[in-house]
A = this chain, B = another copy of it.
Amino acid sequence: MNNIISIPRQSLHQEVANRLRQRIIEGELDPGTKLNERELCEVMNVSRTPLREAVKMLAAEGLVELLPNRGAVVARLTEQDVLDTFEVIAGLEGLSGELAAARITAEELTEIRALQYEMRAAHARRDLPTYYGLNARIHELINAAARNPVLTQTWRNVNARLQVMRFRSNLDGAKWDQALDEHERMVEMLAGRDAAGLRKLLIDHLMVKRDTVIELMRAGKLYQKQKENA
Contacts and interface: CB of A to CB of B under 8 A. Distances in A.
Contacts of A148: 84, 87-88
Secondary structure call for the A interface: helix
Given A59-B57, A60-B61, A154-B154, A87 B99 contact: yes
Contacts of A61: 60
Interface stretch (A48-56, A116-124, A173-181): A48-56
Given A68-B10, A69-B11, A151 B87 contact: yes
Nearest to A82: B150
A11 B68 contact: yes
A220 interface: no
B87 A56 contact: no
Interface string A1-30: 000000000110110000000000000000
Interface string A56-93: 11111110001011000000000001001101100110
A56 B13 contact: yes
Give the copy number: 2
A59 B57 CA distance: 8
Contacts of A222: none
Give the contact-size bracket for chain A.
Answer: 35 or more
A40 interface: no
18 contacts: A11-B66, A13-B56, A14-B66, A49-B49, A52-B53, A56-B60, A57-B57, A57-B60, A81-B150, A84-B149, A84-B150, A85-B150, A87-B148, A88-B148, A88-B150, A91-B91, A91-B151, A154-B154
Interface of A: 10-11, 13-14, 49, 52-54, 56-62, 66, 68-69, 81, 84-85, 87-88, 91-92, 94-95, 99, 148-151, 153-154, 158
> Which 4 pairs show the lowest CB-CB distances between chains A and B?
A60-B60, A91-B95, A84-B150, A57-B60
